[in-house]
Every structure is written in structure tokens, then in C-alpha cells.
């Protein structure tokens, strides 16, 4: 089985992205899925005592959705080297998260292409949950230099 691929990333390309419905189960799975027991992710009473309307999605899960915008497109050989995130708005149960990405830079000087992607998680409208920049190496794609 060959797992190399022939992605030819170009700056300006819009990645496919995704749409995901966030349920109570998604949010409350934080302890089992991320080992994060911080109570605002699973206890509504404590979330409300913190001024939140309800439990909120954990940072570790949000980062996973950010990375997925890149890796859903790039495939299993992509390695996220760097991720910069700004958390703008809480993601609550019932939210629909739209993941979107645009390639802003491609570096072909190494053996494998390195892409930088501008990522947004939004509600599909004007609310930006998270603004991020991800740099990933496409380790199963070979450049001319490789």
C-alpha cells in the first residue's frame, strides 16, 4: 500500500473545510477524550457560576477542530508543526461549527512541502469562535528538493 500523495499546495487555495454540530455529548466528553476535568466543560451549574450560559467546549477539542481543517485535506502524512490560536467566543452545546481554511504560504525548499493555513472556526455567520494559523509539513508528499 502506498500512502504517498501528490498534493500540489498553492497559496490562495481554499480548503474544503467542514460543518460540525456540537452536542452536549461532544462538550461533556472532555474528561474521557482529553483527560481535562476542568468543570466548565462538564458541569452546567459550575459553568453558570462562572458567568457562562452553559458548559463550553474545551481548548484541547477546539485545537483538534482547528487542525482538522488542515489534516482532513492534507491526509494522514501531515504533521502540525505550529498552531497559533486566538479563542474569541465560547462554543456551547447546540452550536454548529464551520471550519474553514485558506493556504497563505507554501515552502518547497525542504524535502516535503510545508504549508501555512489561515484557519477560522465560525458559526457560519459573523461569530468567529477561533482564529488560528497552522503550519504543517506534508511528510508523505515529496518536493523537487526531495
Partner 1 sequence: MTTTQDRPAPPGIGAELRYGTYEEALTYVGRESAPVEGDVEVNWATIRHYCAAIHDGNPSYWDPEVAQQTWGGLVAPPAMLMSWTIELPWKPGDFTPAPLVMGDVPLPGSSIVNVSNDTTHERPLRVGEKVAARVRIESVSPQKTTRVGTGHFITTLTTFTVEDEVVATQENTLFRFDLAASENTETSTA
DSSP letter assigned to residue 76: T
Short-list 132, 74, 119, 95, CA closest to 19? 95
The yes or no reply on residue 19 touching partner 1 (CB under 8 A) is no
For partner 1, the binding residue among 7, 13, 44, 52 (CB under 8 A) is 52
User: What are the beta bridge partners of residue 105?
Assistant: 116
Phi first, then psi, for residue 69 (nearest 5°) are -55, -35
Q: Which stretch binds partner 1 (CB under 8 A): 7-15, 108-116, 123-131?
A: 123-131
Residue among 80 and 102 whose Cβ is closer to partner 1: 80
Among 98, 129, 138, 141, interactor with partner 1 by CB under 8 A: 129
Q: Which of residues 70-89 bind partner 1 (CB under 8 A)?
A: 71-72, 75-77, 79-89
Distance CA 31, CA 64 (A): 15
Nearer CB in complex with partner 1: 30/103:
30
36 near partner 1, judged by CB under 8 A: yes
CB neighbourhood size of 44 (10 A): 17
* Residue 7 found at the interface with partner 1 (CB under 8 A): no
First to last CA, the chain: 21
Q: How do strand 78-87 and strand 96-107 relate by DSSP bridges?
A: unpaired
Closest CA to 106 of 127, 137, 76, 74: 137
Stretch binding partner 1 (CB under 8 A), from 8-16, 38-46, 102-110, 111-119: 38-46
Please give the residue ranges that form the binding site for partner 1 (CB under 8 A).
1, 3, 18, 20, 26, 29-30, 32-40, 43, 46, 49-53, 56-68, 71-72, 75-77, 79-91, 127, 129-130, 139-140
Amino acid at each position: 500500500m502506498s500512502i504517498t500523495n501528490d498534493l500540489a499546495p498553492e497559496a490562495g487555495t481554499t480548503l474544503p473545510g467542514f460543518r460540525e454540530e456540537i452536542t452536549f455529548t461532544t462538550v461533556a466528553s472532555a474528561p474521557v477524550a482529553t483527560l481535562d476535568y476542568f468543570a466548565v466543560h462538564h458541569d452546567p451549574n459550575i459553568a453558570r457560576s462562572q458567568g457562562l450560559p452553559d458548559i463550553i467546549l474545551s481548548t484541547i477539542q477546539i485545537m483538534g477542530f482547528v487542525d482538522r481543517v488542515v489534516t482532513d485535506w492534507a491526509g494522514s502524512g501531515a504533521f502540525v508543526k505550529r498552531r497559533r490560536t486566538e479563542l474569541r467566543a465560547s462554543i456551547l452545546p447546540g452550536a454548529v461549527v464551520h471550519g474553514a481554511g485558506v493556504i497563505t504560504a507554501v515552502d518547497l525548499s525542504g524535502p516535503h512541502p510545508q504549508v501555512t493555513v489561515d484557519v477560522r472556526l465560525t458559526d457560519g455567520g459573523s461569530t468567529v469562535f477561533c482564529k488560528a494559523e497552522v503550519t504543517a509539513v506534508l511528510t508523505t508528499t515529496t518536493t523537487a528538493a526531495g
